[in-house]
């Protein structure tokens, strides 16, 4: 995936995925963060703040590299529930 260029783009992506979960009848909408060591911590905190502003408080961290393209591309109903 390519990095987002603005908060507006990030919000749009988060909203689209949250809407997918809601359409699938899911009430739990987790946001999984896969932050590599080179990602500035302030950017991670900013993402968490944006999630809270968007009423997406369920933020979880994964080990770097755990969210591969195949898992990210799977339809919502086929994704494994977060731990």
Q: Are 32 and 4 in contact (CB under 8 A)?
A: no
pLDDT tier at 76, thresholds 50, 70, 90: very low
Cα torsion 43, 68, 66, 9 to 10°: value is 20
Round to whole Å and give the CA distance between 68 and 62: 11
Q: Please give the model's pTM, rounded to 2 decimal places.
A: 0.70
- For the ranges 36-45, 54-63, 65-74, which has the lowest average pLDDT? 65-74
pLDDT tier at 2, thresholds 50, 70, 90: confident
């Amino acid at each position: 995936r390519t990095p987002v260029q603005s908060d507006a783009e990030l919000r749009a992506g988060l909203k689209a995925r949250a809407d997918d979960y809601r359409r699938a009848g899911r009430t739990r909408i987790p946001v999984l963060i896969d932050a590599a060591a080179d990602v500035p911590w302030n950017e991670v905190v900013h993402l968490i703040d944006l999630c809270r502003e968007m009423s997406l408080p369920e933020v979880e961290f994964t080990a770097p590299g755990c969210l591969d393209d195949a898992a990210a591309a799977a339809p919502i109903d086929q994704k494994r529930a977060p731990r």
